Structure 1
Amino acid sequence: MKLESQITGNIGLYFACYKLSRLGWNVMPTARNARGIDVVAYNKDGTRFIGVQVKALSKRNPVPIGGSLEKVMGDFWIVVNNVAKEPGAFILLPEEVRALAHRGDKDGRVSYWLQPNAYDRPEFRDAWQRIGHGNDIALTIPLDPE
């Protein structure tokens, strides 16, 4: 069964919200289809806020970013794929998304994509520890350990 893109997006968004809530974050999805971040989360004391961009996919597809890398915002990107069966989550930082983005040029139009082999890596797969708990300082894993 093929899901409509709106349903795919909803599943990915609420899956990410569920996982963040399990980590102790107070989570609020933002207005759907608005430019910007998809989720605002804050810790239990209200002293730390994070903005999250969620990209949901029905399978292991490239992630469309758009015509500019300036649209990559927030504190974290969560790519959720295979949403209808067994969702898998990949946690990236915006600077990693920009660094790993593939640039396409077709008929004079530029578009950016995050190819599956760029986001589907062990260091990003289910790496919720990168975001941390709602009462901890976020942990990050550098793209280049040096």
Structure 2
Amino acid sequence: MKLETQVTGNIGLYYVCYHLSRLGWNVMPTSRNARGIDVIAYDRTGTEFIGVQVKALTKRNPVPLGNSLDKVMGDFWVIVNNIGKEPQTYVLLPEEVKKLVHRGEKDGRVSYWLQPKSYCVDEYFEAWGRIGRGH
């Protein structure tokens, strides 16, 4: 079954919210299709906040980042691939995303991508401990 792009994004968003909630974070998805942070989470005391960007893919594909790295923000990036079957997550820092990015140019137009060989590595795989607990 082929999933629509919006459904794929929703599955990824709520999958990440589920994992963060299990770690003790109070989680709030932001407005869909808004630029920037997809999830805001805070600890049980309300003193620590994190912002998470979520990228959801149906399979192990490159992550499109657009024509600028200005949209790479937040405290963490979580890439969820294989969303329709057995989701796999990769937890990265925005600085890591920027460091690993592939820059492409075609017909004078620049685009940025995060290749699977860059993000599908043991260091980031299911690395929820990098985020920590919300208590």
State the match for 1:35 in structure 2: 35
The separation in 2 between residues aligned to 1:99 and 1:77, in whole angstroms, is: 13
1:70 Cα deviation after fit = 1.4
1:100 Cα deviation after fit = 0.1
State the match for 1:110 in structure 2: 110
State the match for 2:47 in structure 1: 47
State the match for 1:56 in structure 2: 56
1:60 Cα deviation after fit = 0.1
Unpaired stretches in structure 1, ≥5 consecutive residues: 136-146
Identical columns (%): 72
Cα shift readout 1:8-44 (whole Å, capped 9, x = no counterpart):
0000000000000000000000000000100000000
Name the Cα RMSD after superposition: 0.4
- Aligned amino acid, residue 5 of structure 1: T
- Aligned amino acid, residue 79 of structure 2: V
- Runs ≥4 residues deviating over 3 A: none
SS at match of 1:70: coil
What is the aligned length?
Answer: 135
Unpaired stretches in structure 2, ≥5 consecutive residues: none
1:62 Cα deviation after fit = 0.2
SS at match of 1:71: coil
State the match for 1:144 in structure 2: none
TM-score of the superposed pair, with normalisation by structure 2: 0.99
The separation in 2 between residues aligned to 1:65 and 1:20, in whole angstroms, is: 23
TM-score of the superposed pair, with normalisation by structure 1: 0.92
